[in-house]
Amino acid sequence: MRTLAIALCLSPVLLVVVLALVLPTAWGDEPPVAVVLGLVAMVGVGFASAEAIGFLTEPLTADVATHHDEAQRISLGRFQSAMMLRFALTEMPILVGLATSFVLDDGIWPLLVTVALGLPVMWFETWPGRRNGRKFAARLESGGVRSGLVDALGVG
């Protein structure tokens, strides 16, 4: 799970490296303040969306998870699906910054702004650590069935 999170979070960095060769990098052409504020707001919307819907899941029930191994397998699958959703929600502003870099005549600046702000948000939301594991496990276990997710992630 951690390998997937690392691969996902490195993609915007690789995007910047590649596009630095394609897009003009005139460092004196900063984007207008309105563009920067709009991009910052988009990163905020991505973060808020990931927090609001990125941890939603149905609780485990005794009829679905009949024993501990099955509950853990189901929990890991649901966690990975939710992690991909949170990644997509936090990547959206970066992709908008990418498009803005091509549409506006501001060079690579819009992409740099969204990657600089969006990458830490993306890492925070996708890393399968203690916070995300416990938060998702609490949702899974709200039906009274132990998920084993925290143990499976090794973040106990």
* Overall domain count for the chain: 1
> According to the model, what pLDDT value does residue 66 have?
79
Domain containing residue 113: 1-7+43-54+64-156
> Per-10-residue mean pLDDT for the chain, 156 residues long?
94 90 73 92 98 95 85 95 97 95 85 95 96 96 93 89
CA atoms within 13 A on the CB side of 51: 9
| Residue 97 counted as domain residue | yes
Q: What is the pTM of this model?
A: 0.91
| Residue 136 counted as domain residue | yes
| Residue 12 counted as domain residue | no
> According to the model, what pLDDT value does residue 123 have?
97
> According to the model, what pLDDT value does residue 26 have?
65
Burial class (CB in 10 A: 0-12, 13-18, 19+), 63: exposed
Residue 48 Rama label (left phi>0; alpha psi -120 to 50; beta): alpha
Enumerate residues 6+ apart whose C-beta is below 8 A from 65: 71, 74, 145, 147
| Residue 21 counted as domain residue | no
Q: Kindly tell me the sign of the dihedral angle through the C-alpha atoms of 141, 151, 4, 128.
A: positive
> According to the model, what pLDDT value does residue 52 have?
96
Distances (CA, A) of 38 to 45, 48, 102: 10, 15, 16
DSSP string, 104-150: SSSTTHHHHHHHHHHHHHHHHHH--SHHHHHHHHHHHGGGS----HH
Distances (CA, A) of 76 to 83, 87, 89: 10, 16, 20
| Residue 59 counted as domain residue | no
> According to the model, what pLDDT value does residue 1 have?
87
